[in-house]
Amino acid sequence: MRVLGINGSPRVGGNTDILLDRVLEGARSNGADIEKVALNKMKFSACQECDNMPDTSACIINDDMQVIYKKIKECDALVFASPIFFGSLSAQSKAMIDRFQCVWRARYILRKDAGYKKIPGFFISVEGSMRKDFFENAKSIVKNLFTTINAQYKGELFCSGIDERASILKRQDCLQKAFDLGAKLIKKGKGKYMGNIFSAGEIVEMGIEIEKNGRDFYNAVTALSNTPAIKEVFKYLAGEEEKHIKVFENILSEIKKYEPSEAYPGEYFAYLKALSEEHVFTKKRKGLDIAKKVKNDKEAIELGIGFEKDSILFYYEMKKVVLEGEHKAIGALIEQEQEHLRKLSELKRR
């Protein structure tokens, strides 16, 4: 597996360069072939908005960008690195990105395959200040590039408060995270991309879907039941699931703020995928669909029991992938789902 690192900083041996090296070292430690290019050492012009563009994905300017196009097409993972300059990417980075207009045109105007295979893409960046919005700004541009070249934005590392040349060497936390990010790219010993990654955010989003479906299901079966005691429990459960939606939304916003760049191995992904596929409530608007087919209270209770069991199992896995600060909230949520299960099986026994 080939991992390509692109350094958009003019400073060779500077902070971005050092951080990128650390990511690449991590990847190499697990068997990747690594390569790094420094944009500042390459000779290429900014995009000229040529009127005579060919109807292909190729750029007609014959300069070092041709080398970059080829290297990106051939790599299996891309790590793009740029310092923050004036709240955005460096000029070198932006000049390179603009030169992908030919690829953008091929994909979105000509609707042609531009010859870029699907790869994971990572973005790393440093800044002198402590401003999160600068990284967000730079990230939106990098995401734009990644979409154009068929790279999936799979992770990032942002380090703030780093200004002097090579001062990142004093930041062991950043260096370690960079190494880990690189190492996690590769399946140890096999030199293969771990692929098929669920981000922690995606898993929490599934949790939100589960809870929304649960709420809809319990609301619908509350209306269907004629037994006050059963109605009361269903209504209570619908309210509980509503609260859980809020808990997950908070967790999701924290994840988005801190963006853990965790990656999970293929087998673990397969397990999570199976869990999510088996849990009917991960699919949109499933709660109401299922409730519509319910014939009686007994059936509604049975379905609720199955739903609570699946949720508990899924949330146990979720706990492993979210930030440590969120473990308590998910732990509490699991306990509440266990309580729901208890209430439902009590109803079943009546």
Ligand X SMILES: Cc1cc2nc3c(=O)[nH]c(=O)nc-3n(C[C@H](O)[C@H](O)[C@H](O)COP(=O)(O)O)c2cc1C
CB atoms within 10 A of CB 189: 8
Backbone angles phi, psi at 183, to 5 degrees: -65, -35
**Residue range at the interface with ligand X (CB under 6 A); choices 63-71, 158-166, 261-269, 300-308:** 158-166
14 binds ligand X (CB under 6 A): yes
Q: Tokens in use for 203?
A: 């898993």
Cβ closer to ligand X: 39 or 197? 39
CB of 85 to ligand X, least distance (A): 4
Specify the amino acid at residue 104.
W
93 binds ligand X (CB under 6 A): no
Compute the CA torsion angle 106, 77, 156, 145 (nearest 10 deg): -10
Q: Tokens in use for 326?
A: 């969120």
State the Cα–Cα distance between residues 290 and 210, nearest whole angstrom: 13
Q: Which 3 state secondary structure label does DSSP give 52?
A: coil
Specify the amino acid at residue 245.
I
Q: In the block, which residue shows the tokens 């896995």?
A: 317
Contacting residue, 162, 263, 322, 333, with ligand X by CB under 6 A = 162
**Residue range at the interface with ligand X (CB under 6 A); choices 6-14, 231-239, 275-283, 288-296:** 6-14
HSE at residue 55, side-chain half, CA atoms within 13 A, is 4
Cβ closer to ligand X: 81 or 183? 81
207 binds ligand X (CB under 6 A): no
CB of 208 to ligand X, least distance (A): 34
CB of 16 to ligand X, least distance (A): 3
DSSP conformational letter for 283: S
155 binds ligand X (CB under 6 A): no
Q: Classify strands 33-38 and 2-7 as parallel, antiparallel or unpaired.
A: parallel
Q: Which of 329, 332, 156 is nearest to 250 (CA)?
A: 329
92 binds ligand X (CB under 6 A): no
CB of 94 to ligand X, least distance (A): 12
Cβ closer to ligand X: 82 or 199? 82
Contacting residue, 21, 76, 127, 326, with ligand X by CB under 6 A = 127
123 binds ligand X (CB under 6 A): no
Q: In the block, which residue shows the tokens 């998910």?
A: 330
In sequence order, which ranges of 124-265 are alpha helices (DSSP H)?
132-148, 172-184, 200-224, 228-258
87 binds ligand X (CB under 6 A): yes
15 binds ligand X (CB under 6 A): yes
Contacting residue, 1, 3, 5, 16, with ligand X by CB under 6 A = 16
Cβ closer to ligand X: 9 or 213? 9
Name the residues that contact ligand X, by CB under 6 A: 9, 11, 14-17, 83-87, 126-129, 131, 134, 162-163, 165
